[in-house]
Amino acid sequence: MKRLVVKYELLNLRREKLLLLLFAASSLFAVLAFYNGYRFSQNQALAVTAAQQEQQTANNTIRQGLAERQARQGPLNWWDDKHDLRGQAFYLMVNYATKAPLPTAAIAVGQADIQPYFFRMLVTEKQHVLHQYDYTHPLALLLGQLDLAFVIIYLLPLLLIGACFNALSEEKQSGQLRIMMLQGISPATLVAAQILVRAGAVMVPFLLISNLCLWLFSPGITFISLLIFSLLVLLYTGFWLALTAWVISLGKNAANNAARLVTAWLGLVIIVPAVLNILIMTLNPSPSRLVYVDQMRSHTDKVNQQAAQTLANFFQDHPELAKTGTATNDYATSKIAKILAVEQAMQPFDDAFVKVLHKQNQQAGWLKHLSPATLLHAALIDLAGNGQLRHQAFMQEVQQHHQKLQTYFASRIALAAQNGDFAPCSGCNARVTLADASDIPVFSSQASLLPIPYGAMLMLVLLIVLLTFASTKALSKMHQAQSQTVLV
DSSP H helical ranges for 65-155: 66-71, 85-87, 126-129, 138-143, 148-150
- Gap between the Cα atoms of 102 and 104, Å rounded: 5
The yes or no reply on residue 132 touching other proteins (CB under 8 A) is yes
Out of 74, 75, 138, 184, the residue judged to bind other proteins by CB under 8 A: 138
Cβ atoms of 386 and 250 closer than 8 Å: no
Q: Residue 144 or 200: which CB sits closer to other proteins?
A: 144
The yes or no reply on residue 134 touching other proteins (CB under 8 A) is yes
**DSSP assigned state of 153:** I
The yes or no reply on residue 297 touching other proteins (CB under 8 A) is yes
- Gap between the Cα atoms of 375 and 236, Å rounded: 9
The yes or no reply on residue 375 touching other proteins (CB under 8 A) is no
The CB-of-10 to other proteins minimum distance in angstroms stands at 21
The yes or no reply on residue 57 touching other proteins (CB under 8 A) is no
The yes or no reply on residue 283 touching other proteins (CB under 8 A) is no
Q: Fill in the per-residue mask, 400 to 419: x = in contact with other proteins (CB under 8 A), - = not in contact.
A: --------------------
The CB-of-258 to other proteins minimum distance in angstroms stands at 5
Q: Residue 379 or 414: which CB sits closer to other proteins?
A: 379
Q: Residue 322 or 384: which CB sits closer to other proteins?
A: 384
- Gap between the Cα atoms of 395 and 227, Å rounded: 29
The yes or no reply on residue 146 touching other proteins (CB under 8 A) is yes
The yes or no reply on residue 118 touching other proteins (CB under 8 A) is yes
The yes or no reply on residue 294 touching other proteins (CB under 8 A) is yes
The site for other proteins, by CB under 8 A, has a size of: 82
The CB-of-488 to other proteins minimum distance in angstroms stands at 27
The yes or no reply on residue 41 touching other proteins (CB under 8 A) is no
Q: How many helices (H) and strands (E) does the chain have?
A: 20, 2
The CB-of-284 to other proteins minimum distance in angstroms stands at 9
The CB-of-350 to other proteins minimum distance in angstroms stands at 11
Question: Taking Cα atoms as reference points, which of 169, 86, 47, 106 lies closest to residue 475?
Answer: 169
The yes or no reply on residue 457 touching other proteins (CB under 8 A) is no
Stretch 220-239 residues interacting with other proteins (CB under 8 A): none
Out of 9, 13, 26, 36, the residue judged to bind other proteins by CB under 8 A: 36
Out of 85, 93, 105, 155, the residue judged to bind other proteins by CB under 8 A: 155
Cβ atoms of 118 and 46 closer than 8 Å: no
- Contacts of residue 131, defined as CB under 8 A and 6 or more positions apart, other chains included, come to none
- Gap between the Cα atoms of 306 and 300, Å rounded: 10
The yes or no reply on residue 395 touching other proteins (CB under 8 A) is no
The yes or no reply on residue 133 touching other proteins (CB under 8 A) is yes
CA distances for 194 relative to 2, 169, 177, 188, 237, angstroms? 11, 11, 13, 10, 15
Local structure of 96: helix, strand or coil: strand
Q: Residue 390 or 402: which CB sits closer to other proteins?
A: 390
The yes or no reply on residue 364 touching other proteins (CB under 8 A) is yes
Cβ atoms of 165 and 240 closer than 8 Å: no
The yes or no reply on residue 259 touching other proteins (CB under 8 A) is yes
The yes or no reply on residue 345 touching other proteins (CB under 8 A) is no
The yes or no reply on residue 43 touching other proteins (CB under 8 A) is yes
Out of 277, 326, 407, 445, the residue judged to bind other proteins by CB under 8 A: 277
Amino acid type, 450: L
The yes or no reply on residue 352 touching other proteins (CB under 8 A) is no
The yes or no reply on residue 179 touching other proteins (CB under 8 A) is no
The yes or no reply on residue 27 touching other proteins (CB under 8 A) is no
User: Which of the stretches 138-146, 195-203, 225-233, 322-330 binds other proteins when contact is defined by CB under 8 A?
Assistant: 138-146
Cβ atoms of 87 and 42 closer than 8 Å: no
CA dihedral 259, 264, 267, 272 (to 10 degrees): 180
Beta strand pairing status for 96-98 and 118-120? antiparallel
Q: Where are the beta strands (DSSP E) in 187-339?
A: none
The CB-of-142 to other proteins minimum distance in angstroms stands at 6
Question: Taking Cα atoms as reference points, which of 86, 81, 73 lies closest to residue 428?
Answer: 73
Burial category of 23 from C-beta neighbours within 10 Å (exposed 0-12, middle 13-18, buried 19 and up):
middle
